[in-house]
Chain A
Amino acid sequence: MAKKNEKKKELDWFDHPQNIRRLRTGFYIVLVLLVLPDFFLHKHHLFSTVESWPGFYALFGFVSCVAIIVVSKLLGNLLKREEDYYDRR
């Protein structure tokens, strides 16, 4: 019976603002922790010395994603149509 009662109570962890806040803080801490070791490691580079700079891949990921989103958004203005576009005469 106890199990049944538990089941009735929905999962709503993400509905609470303080949880989202905690999640966000944790996320930022992880980001910082990921870049920190770069300052102490000697990194190899494949094509250019830029790659061995601390946080290169972090910046690379961030910039390429921003670029992808912006480009898609711009192309979206050109490509997006109403859902019944092909059904209309």
Chain B
Amino acid sequence: MTAANLHPSALLFVGAALVLILPLWGRRATILVAPAAAFLIITQLPAGEFWHYSMFGFDLNMLRVDKLSKAFGYVFTINAFGCFLFAQHLKDRYEHIAALCYIGASLGAVFAGDLISLYFFWEIMAITSTFLVLARRTAAAYGAAYRYVMMHIFGGLCLLAGIVLQVEASGSVAFDGFSLQGLPTYLILIGFLINAAAYPFSTWLSDAYPEATVTGGVIMTAYTTKTAVYTLIRGFAGWEVLIAVGCFMAIYGIIYAILENDMRRILAFSIMNQVGFMVCGIGIGTQLAISGAVAHAFCHIIYKALLWMSAGSVLYMTGKSKCTELGGLYKTMPWTMIFGTVGALAISSFPFFSGYTSKPMIIEAGVHEGFFWVWLILEIASAGVFLHAGIKFPYFVFFAKDNGLRPGEPPKHMLAAMALFAFICIFLGVYPQPLYDILPYPVDFHAYTLEHTLNQFQLLMFSALAFFMLLPLLKRTNTISIRIDWVFRKGGKQFYRFCQWAFDGLNDWADRVFVKETPKLLARFFEEPGGNLMKYCYRLWVETSGIDDQQEQVTSRIDSRSRSAAYPVGVGVLLAVVILVLASMLLYLR
């Protein structure tokens, strides 16, 4: 009861407020104590629903505790502790506040007991995380942050529209497994999938994360996509469309990661690939698959943060992040290289590292259901992970061609954070039972059978063989790859240009015809309306009859008569007759 009086995310928000006023040493302590305290509280939380409040006539609650939300709460706080250890050197209050609020909001989203509370935390996450990109203070970061926040506002609006329709249709704000398929749930699903970086809403991730600050990038990798994974598990477990979405993400991430030159962007693409495995597991929806997705999210958060830390250290020490400019760093950054390699082996689900005890659960769940294509695609993707994240990242950054950089190891606290996470990666790889114990369903899964381990070793080592044999094809180039965001980044400009051409052209034409030409014509006609009319009729007559020998004489006669007002009938009378004729014709036609 006492533990439930404290909301874990409230601690992080309080921490953010303290960072605003405390001096440097106090800030350094606060950013470590806040996540550690939140972790301790989560361990003590009893199952149930707490923090009830009332809004819009609904009974809401902000703290729903069960095994699923607790598992995500644990890993979010552990990861926050490691990330803030990594960020100890940072003096910037503003970045720490954004990070603390962002992590607090994602804890809030995970523990939210209803759709309305979820939505509030969801939007806070989108806004606060944007500041971690803006804090880089480069033109590229500003552009990426703008596109990032626009995409998340769009996702938030989809979610909001879905929630409103859902409440309207069902009369409840409950956030449990959705059973009705229809517009409300589809909109909610799209809102979640945007945050999970599912295609075609994936570009914000590979766009913004690599432009974030050294520490901001490490922090961001964990929360947005994995909160989305949590909400998908909660709401959409067993929706088969997610299997296809997940498989596509797994392959998409690999192909773009192989084409990529920026080391942090390689890692960003591999987030999509890994989240693809989880989304696929959610789509399979059996107990083993859901447990696998949660376990994989847990391991993934840790080893992905470790990889981003090693890449962040390289960026921090060298100021460079392109593979073409890096290389040979093992000479002066051996510890960073070792920790980065541990992360790379863990993400590749190499036996005795953490990915190996979680990812195969998802694949096995697919096999249990008899999904041949899921098995095939996920096994290909497993080989591909080793290719792009397991070998390519460490190889091009720490080995390959020596570009003459001699940066030295990063500060001690960074190494300590990496050591902590490397330890967790190896610990969970060798002894996964503590992880299996916190999963939502009891797990009957044994990763270490001789056959399975041997198969995995074969798969990975021969992938490595393929990598080194085809190394010339993988040579890095100074290029970027266009993605679906081309549609609004280039397409937007083209659309703007098209509109400029079309509407400005229309405007010009209208100006010429209606403002300049027509009044001029009318003015000339009304100077001598009678004479002009006669001349026109005469010309028509000449053209039809073909007699034109007296044309000039006749026209000059008409002119002179008209000028001296020799015609007996006035212009007004003529016009009146014309109008009467027209009017009577119109009446007759009716």
Measuring CB to CB, which residues of chain A are less than 8 angstroms from any residue of chain B? 10-12, 14-15, 27, 30-31, 34-35, 37-38, 41, 43-44, 46-47, 55, 57-62, 64-73, 75-76, 79-83, 85-86, 89
Q: In the complex the two chains form, is A34's CB within 8 Å of B454's CB?
A: yes
User: Which residues of the other chain, B, contact A68 by a CB distance below 8 angstroms?
Assistant: 254-255, 258, 380, 383-384, 387
User: Which residues of the other chain, B, contact A31 by a CB distance below 8 angstroms?
Assistant: 461-462, 465
User: Which residues of the other chain, B, contact A44 by a CB distance below 8 angstroms?
Assistant: 451
B481 within 8 A of A: yes
B584 within 8 A of A: no
Q: In the complex the two chains form, is B259's CB within 8 Å of A79's CB?
A: yes
Which residue on chain A has the smallest CB distance to residue B251?
A: A68
Question: How near does chain A come to B345, taking the closest CB pair, in angstroms?
Answer: 15
B535 within 8 A of A: no
Most chain A beta carbons < 10 A, residue from B375, B384, B477, B489: B384
Measuring CB to CB, which residues of chain B are less than 8 angstroms from any residue of chain A? 254-255, 258-259, 330-332, 334, 367, 372, 375, 379-380, 383-384, 387, 399, 402, 406, 450-451, 454-467, 470, 473-474, 477-483, 489-490, 493
> What is the bound-complex CA distance between A63 and B372, given in angstroms?
18
> What is the bound-complex CA distance between A42 and B146, given in angstroms?
57
User: Which residues of the other chain, B, contact A37 by a CB distance below 8 angstroms?
Assistant: 454
Question: How near does chain B come to A19, taking the closest CB pair, in angstroms?
Answer: 12
Question: How near does chain B come to A50, taking the closest CB pair, in angstroms?
Answer: 12
Q: In the complex the two chains form, is A43's CB within 8 Å of B451's CB?
A: yes
Q: In the complex the two chains form, is A65's CB within 8 Å of B463's CB?
A: yes
Q: In the complex the two chains form, is A75's CB within 8 Å of B259's CB?
A: yes
Q: In the complex the two chains form, is B481's CB within 8 Å of A47's CB?
A: no
Given contacts A37-B454, A41-B451, contact A71 B460 (CB under 8 A): no
Most chain B beta carbons < 10 A, residue from A12, A37, A72, A75: A72
Closest 4 CB pairs of A and B: A65-B466, A61-B459, A58-B458, A61-B462
Given contacts A65-B467, A66-B470, A76-B259, contact A83 B478 (CB under 8 A): yes
User: Which residues of the other chain, A, contact B331 by a CB distance below 8 angstroms?
Assistant: 10-12
Most chain A beta carbons < 10 A, residue from B459, B470, B490: B459
Q: In the complex the two chains form, is A75's CB within 8 Å of B479's CB?
A: no
> What is the bound-complex CA distance between A64 and B457, given in angstroms?
15
> What is the bound-complex CA distance between A41 and B458, given in angstroms?
14
Question: How near does chain B come to A38, taking the closest CB pair, in angstroms?
Answer: 7
Q: In the complex the two chains form, is A80's CB within 8 Å of B465's CB?
A: no
> What is the bound-complex CA distance between A57 and B363, given in angstroms?
15
Which residue on chain A has the smallest CB distance to residue B471?
A: A69
User: Which residues of the other chain, A, contact B450 by a CB distance below 8 angstroms?
Assistant: 41
User: Which residues of the other chain, B, contact A64 by a CB distance below 8 angstroms?
Assistant: 379-380, 383-384, 463
Which residue on chain A has the smallest CB distance to residue B259?
A: A76
Partner of B259, one of A11, A72, A89: A72
User: Which residues of the other chain, A, contact B375 by a CB distance below 8 angstroms?
Assistant: 46-47
14 further interface pairs, Cβ-Cβ under 8 Å (given A38-B454, A41-B454, A76-B259): A30-B461, A31-B461, A44-B451, A47-B372, A58-B459, A61-B461, A64-B384, A65-B384, A68-B383, A68-B387, A69-B467, A73-B473, A81-B482, A85-B482
Which residue on chain B has the smallest CB distance to residue A35?
A: B458
Given contacts A14-B399, A30-B461, A75-B259, contact A66 B481 (CB under 8 A): no
User: Which residues of the other chain, A, contact B466 by a CB distance below 8 angstroms?
Assistant: 61-62, 65-66, 69
Partner of B387, one of A57, A65, A86: A65
> What is the bound-complex CA distance between A5 and B465, given in angstroms?
38
> What is the bound-complex CA distance between A76 and B474, given in angstroms?
11
Given contacts A69-B473, A76-B481, A81-B479, contact A57 B459 (CB under 8 A): yes
Which residue on chain B has the smallest CB distance to residue A67?
A: B380
25 contacting pairs across A/B (C-beta < 8 A)? A10-B331, A11-B334, A14-B330, A27-B461, A31-B465, A37-B454, A55-B458, A57-B456, A58-B458, A58-B461, A60-B459, A61-B466, A64-B383, A65-B383, A65-B463, A65-B466, A66-B470, A68-B384, A68-B387, A69-B258, A70-B473, A72-B259, A75-B259, A82-B479, A85-B482
User: Which residues of the other chain, B, contact A83 by a CB distance below 8 angstroms?
Assistant: 478-480
User: Which residues of the other chain, A, contact B464 by a CB distance below 8 angstroms?
Assistant: 27
Given contacts A55-B458, A64-B379, contact A69 B480 (CB under 8 A): no
User: Which residues of the other chain, B, contact A61 by a CB distance below 8 angstroms?
Assistant: 383, 458-463, 466
> What is the bound-complex CA distance between A79 and B455, given in angstroms?
34
User: Which residues of the other chain, A, contact B399 by a CB distance below 8 angstroms?
Assistant: 14
User: Which residues of the other chain, A, contact B330 by a CB distance below 8 angstroms?
Assistant: 11, 14
Q: In the complex the two chains form, is A69's CB within 8 Å of B387's CB?
A: yes
Question: How near does chain A come to B168, taking the closest CB pair, in angstroms?
Answer: 41
Given contacts A61-B462, A64-B379, A65-B383, contact A79 B481 (CB under 8 A): yes
User: Which residues of the other chain, A, contact B383 by a CB distance below 8 angstroms?
Assistant: 60-61, 64-65, 68
Which residue on chain B has the smallest CB distance to residue A72?
A: B258
Which residue on chain B has the smallest CB distance to residue A41?
A: B451
User: Which residues of the other chain, B, contact A75 by a CB distance below 8 angstroms?
Assistant: 255, 259
Question: How near does chain B come to A53, taking the closest CB pair, in angstroms?
Answer: 12
User: Which residues of the other chain, A, contact B406 by a CB distance below 8 angstroms?
Assistant: 10
User: Which residues of the other chain, B, contact A38 by a CB distance below 8 angstroms?
Assistant: 454, 458
User: Which residues of the other chain, B, contact A10 by a CB distance below 8 angstroms?
Assistant: 331-332, 406
Most chain B beta carbons < 10 A, residue from A15, A64, A83: A64
Question: How near does chain B come to A22, taking the closest CB pair, in angstroms?
Answer: 15
User: Which residues of the other chain, A, contact B458 by a CB distance below 8 angstroms?
Assistant: 34-35, 38, 55, 57-58, 61
Which residue on chain B has the smallest CB distance to residue A30?
A: B461
User: Which residues of the other chain, A, contact B456 by a CB distance below 8 angstroms?
Assistant: 57
> What is the bound-complex CA distance between A68 and B385, given in angstroms?
11
> What is the bound-complex CA distance between A37 and B455, given in angstroms?
11
User: Which residues of the other chain, A, contact B489 by a CB distance below 8 angstroms?
Assistant: 86
User: Which residues of the other chain, B, contact A86 by a CB distance below 8 angstroms?
Assistant: 480, 489-490
> What is the bound-complex CA distance between A55 and B258, given in angstroms?
26
Which residue on chain A has the smallest CB distance to residue B493?
A: A89
> What is the bound-complex CA distance between A67 and B258, given in angstroms?
12
